[in-house]
Amino acid sequence: MVLSPFPIFRLVDVSQYLEGFVFPGNPALSKNGPHNRVTGNNREFVYDLSLCTQSGTHIQGPHYFLERGKTIDLFPIETFEGPCLIIDLEKRGVDTTAEDLQALIHPDERALTILILRTGHMDEVLVNGVLDPERRPGLSPDAAIFLADQTSFRLIGIDSVGLESRKSQNFEVNLFFCLKEILLLEGLVNLYTVRNRIAFLHAFPLKTRGVEGTPCRAVIRDPVPECKDSSEALGIRIEGGRESNDPFPRPPRRSR
């Protein structure tokens, strides 16, 4: 195998610190230490952490709103990485609709498995320290149905505390995505430094059993300008409504 001496992409850290934001009602990250638990003259510096599964940038699955829903450890490891489409949502305090998404997502892009919604909201919250409901983005129920039934997206990320409808009182959009087994990646930051519309996401959860989700270190591989297009840098080509020459093949989408 021959490795190029020059990368064809740059790494963009799109994760916030675990202690960066605490959603109202969730416990804050607690650090205790350092502790020394070894013998001998050279001490160690070990810390005990206590945190919520929804701390920082985190990824979650169906168990979030379904008691018997699939926990995050039951998803194949390849689910948490892949080519992603990044689109900009401008609406705040009101819902982005199915009609909006149909205009924003080209038909050939709907074959990708990961969608990233860029709003700038999480960066704003971290700077101001204020979670204003009137500034939050959200998806309408019909937008959720469009994504689940008319695209191949199985993981949806957003740079906000969530993507719930601004009209909902009972988290119907979150529940719908749980029922469809679509993963949600929340609390992303720094998305405006990603230059390309199509990039490559890595967002692996911690390896633990029986929980709805965990914090993750989300990173985007952003193709460099020297590439003719972002698909070239990622080694994929989208043709005829599917990904061609994908070095990271995905299982076929299940019928609904």
Strands 155-158 and 183-186: parallel
234: confidence class by pLDDT, cuts 50, 70, 90? low
Tell me the whole-structure pTM to 2 decimals. Answer: 0.87
pLDDT at 233: 55
pLDDT at 256: 41
Judge if the upstream peptide bond of residue 215 is cis by omega within 30 degrees of 0. Answer: no
CA pair distance 201, 112, nearest whole angstrom: 12
pLDDT at 18: 96
CA pair distance 175, 173, nearest whole angstrom: 5
Domains of the chain: 9-18+58-244 (3.50.30.50)
pLDDT digits (tens, 9 = 90+) for 113-154: 999 999 999 999 999 999 999 999 999 999 999 999 999 999
20: confidence class by pLDDT, cuts 50, 70, 90? very high
Tokens of 216: 């993750």
Contact 31, 17 (CB under 8 A): no
CA pair distance 126, 112, nearest whole angstrom: 30
CA pair distance 187, 122, nearest whole angstrom: 6
- DSSP reduced 3-state for 121: helix
Structure-token match 């005990």, residue found: 48
CA pair distance 129, 126, nearest whole angstrom: 5
pLDDT digits (tens, 9 = 90+) for 21-66: 999 999 999 999 999 999 999 999 999 999 999 999 999 999 999 9
225: confidence class by pLDDT, cuts 50, 70, 90? confident
Contact 187, 136 (CB under 8 A): no
Tokens of 253: 């989408």
pLDDT at 1: 46
Element (H, E) at 30: strand 30-35
Single out the residue of 170, 200, 218 nearest to residue 60, CA to CA: 218
- DSSP reduced 3-state for 192: helix
